[in-house]
Amino acid sequence: MNPAAKIDRLALSPLGGSFSGRLLLPGDEGYEAARRVHNGMIDRRPSIIACCSRATDVVNALDFAIEQDLEIAVRGGGHNVAGRAVVDDGMMIDLSPMKGIHVDPMARSVRVEAGVTWGEFNRKTQLHGLATTGGAVSSTGVAGLTLGGGFGFLMGRHGFTIDNLSAVEVVTAEGKLLRASEHENSELFWGLRGGGGNFGIATSFEFRLHAIGPTVHGGAIAYPFDRSKDVLRFYRELTSAAPEELTAAASLTHSADGSRQKLVAMLACHCGPADEAMAALHPIKAFGSPVLDRLGPFSYTSLNEMLDSSFPSLALNYWKSCFIGDLSDNLVGVLCEQFARCPSPMSKLILEHIHGAALTPKPSDTAFPHRDPGYSVLIIAQWSDPRENTANMAWAKETFTALEPFALRGAYSNYMADDERLSGIKRAYEGNLPRLQRLKSLYDPDNLFRNNQNIPPSTSH
């Protein structure tokens, strides 16, 4: 690839006649907004941004990038913390204008294009009282979350997002538009369920939907930080006996009122009947003396917007994560000690409980292999002043190091930072990595799609 490629209007002429979207060059109106992604740490300037409106635009943009020897990045929602959606000097293939959503309420299925966010997805499917496991921050893109695995409030009852995926349309490195499902290109479909953007550019997704909402029971409840050990022990007991319908997370976080007060919180969603939900949530509401109690009936869409203000666009972010099997007292102590040293009032530690339907598939059934009971621990260093980069990144790394003695093998690719390369990929895919490398060799032997959590092609291709 030519890292110093410069594109002018004349060079765009072969693409312009067949491209129905917008082509943005540096200096064009809209370029600056289009090149920015959610993580403000990422500040890259593509030579061209191809804002696609349909799958044929993706094919044409890809052909042009290959012909011009441009490095490629693919943007869906732009939420990936590593910033892989944008590249310096190359081409950003921007799918965010692709907003088509078609719900079939009789079949309980939906087809969405790759620029759709989870907020848009939920609003459309909830018109029919339907939903599937999706992101708990509404501005997250459907495409990126799905291709990496997909955690969400319904995963205890309905599994990860990939467990509800029925088909994907993909533009391959050869410029072909393929449909992948259990019955068509099934090996590619296996790899797309967790393997990220390594095998092509996903342009649309089909999901199975479930009767959820419009009202579910859940929300957030928070306590003073000096009760953090007690609350996390209670959370351990709660999740050890949680029904599939109840998905609960815990967080060491900060008050949203600007006071910088440290808190310990629990977030929950029960997607079952109201009487069962209220019975399941009663022990939480009866525990301790909360400083905030927003547990009760919520619209499903509102529940999935509750965390939006905690993840502001263009805040500076650095994340680390791991899986743990047991929330031991020693681990609770480490979490509380590390959060006490947190340098930013925007940062947080999040525990996500993995149980129920998410554990039903075998590790080899999808590219995403992490099917052990336990928790994901997400370390979110988030701040606003670039002068504080070093201190906040150091806190995240130190916290991760302190958690390593308790951690299971493995990593969630959607939470991996930009500095986690091959070692992170080995943790992300474990025993599935050789199979994924063979698949990469088949569909992308030259590693054209490498601005992602990259799986190198097999050396034997």
| pLDDT for res 336 | 98
Task: Give CA–CA dist 74/93, Å, rounded.
Answer: 5
Give strand pairing partners of 449: none
CA-based nearest residue to 201, from 107, 41, 84, 314: 84
Task: Give CA–CA dist 403/174, Å, rounded.
Answer: 43
Task: Give CA–CA dist 234/92, Å, rounded.
Answer: 46
| pLDDT for res 1 | 42
Number of H helices, E strands in the chain: 14, 18
| pLDDT for res 106 | 98
- The Cβ-side half-sphere exposure at 457, using a 13 Å CA radius, reads 15
Amino acid occupying residue 148 = G
Which residues, including other chains, have CB under 8 Å from residue 368's CB and lie 6 or more apart?
A: 148, 149, 160, 162, 193, 194, 195
Amino acid occupying residue 269 = C
Task: Give CA–CA dist 376/353, Å, rounded.
Answer: 7
Give Cα 245 distance to the centre of its chain: 22
CA-based nearest residue to 130, from 102, 150, 169, 156: 102
Backbone φ and ψ of 84, nearest 5°: -70, -5
Task: Give CA–CA dist 413/254, Å, rounded.
Answer: 26
Cβ 35 vs Cβ 92: under 8 Å: yes
Task: Give CA–CA dist 134/111, Å, rounded.
Answer: 14
Place of tokens 């949203």: 256
Q: Angle at the Cα of 66 (from 60 to 67), degrees rounded to 5?
A: 85
Amino acid occupying residue 89 = D
- Where the chain has pLDDT below 50, the residues are 1-4, 460-461
Backbone φ and ψ of 424, nearest 5°: -65, -40
Task: Give CA–CA dist 167/206, Å, rounded.
Answer: 5
Which of the 8 DSSP states describes residue 322?
E
The model carries a pTM of 0.95
| pLDDT for res 65 | 94
Question: Concatenated DSSP letters for 112-158?
Answer: EETT-BHHHHHHHHGGGTEE-S--SSTTSBHHHHHHH----TTHHHH
Task: Give CA–CA dist 51/26, Å, rounded.
Answer: 14
Backbone φ and ψ of 169, nearest 5°: -100, 135
Cβ neighbours of 215 (radius 10 Å): 15
Cβ 263 vs Cβ 291: under 8 Å: yes
Which domains occur in the chain, in start order? 13-94 (3.30.43.10), 101-212+437-443 (3.30.465.10), 215-415 (3.40.462.20)
| pLDDT for res 395 | 98
Task: Give CA–CA dist 256/233, Å, rounded.
Answer: 24
| pLDDT for res 259 | 84
Cβ 45 vs Cβ 89: under 8 Å: yes
